Amino acid sequence: MGLTRSEQMSRIRGKDTSPERLLRSALWRAGLRFRLQSRTPHGRPDVVFAKAQVAVFIDGCFWHGCPEHYVRPRTRNEFWSAKLLENVERDRRQTLQLEAEGWRVCRFWEHQIFENLPEVVDVVRLALQEEQWTPPPSWTVVQVDPLPGEGDMEQRWMEELRNPMPRRSVITQRSTRKWKRTR
Ligand SMILES: [Zn+2]
């Protein structure tokens, strides 16, 4: 298979494993055929099954508020909180607008692509094939409040993307853990 120079370089750097590319090739191997670079009336999903009206988004764990991997920046809390909320609101708007027009919307966290690709492929397959389909719940961090005192504790507030109220919260230690890249 011929690679462009930049693909060769990225392969050398070990960066040809973008989550989008991994997902696309896994879907292809599973026999699920989609259109590349397709638009929808509301946004540009990472994978679009135009005929079946299934849209698949991969959301970056930091920018979109993954419950496991969102990291509260130490500075400019207000700025980053506003940014996070803006991204979540956009994700919600896109999702609800597409669903209102009959689309099925699958949203995955970036880490799911690296940690459990077969399960991700199964969710997409069901969205394509099931008569009745309900999207899996998608909990998202929308706000993190640092707590006073020792130990770097924080309160993390989460909303389900399609049903934002009631919020849930957990009190936990600030963590910067990343997922395991197994590929
Ligand atoms: Zn994550």
Distance from Cα 111 to the centre of ligand 1, integer Å: 5
Identify which of 57, 42, 20 has the alpha carbon closest to the alpha carbon of residue 99.
42
Question: Which of 3.10.20.30, 3.40.960.10, 3.90.280.10, 3.30.70.1090 is the CATH number of 5-173?
Answer: 3.40.960.10
In the reported structure, the alpha carbon of residue 178 is separated from the centroid of ligand 1 by a whole-number distance in angstroms of: 8
Nearest to 114 by CA among 179, 52, 38: 179
> 115 C-alpha to center of ligand 1: Å?
10
Residues with CB under 5 A from ligand 1 (ion): 61, 66, 68-69, 109, 111
Exposure string over 90-116, b if 16+ CB within 10 A, otherwise e: ebbebbeebbeeebbbbbbbbbbbbee
pTM of the model: 0.86
Reported as a single tens digit per residue, the pLDDT across 28-59 is 999 999 987 678 888 889 999 999 999 999 99
Sketch the domain layout of the chain as residue ranges.
5-173
Residues 60 and 110: beta-carbon distance below 8 Å: yes
pLDDT one-digit tens code per residue, 106-156: 999 999 999 999 999 999 999 999 999 999 999 999 999 999 998 899 999
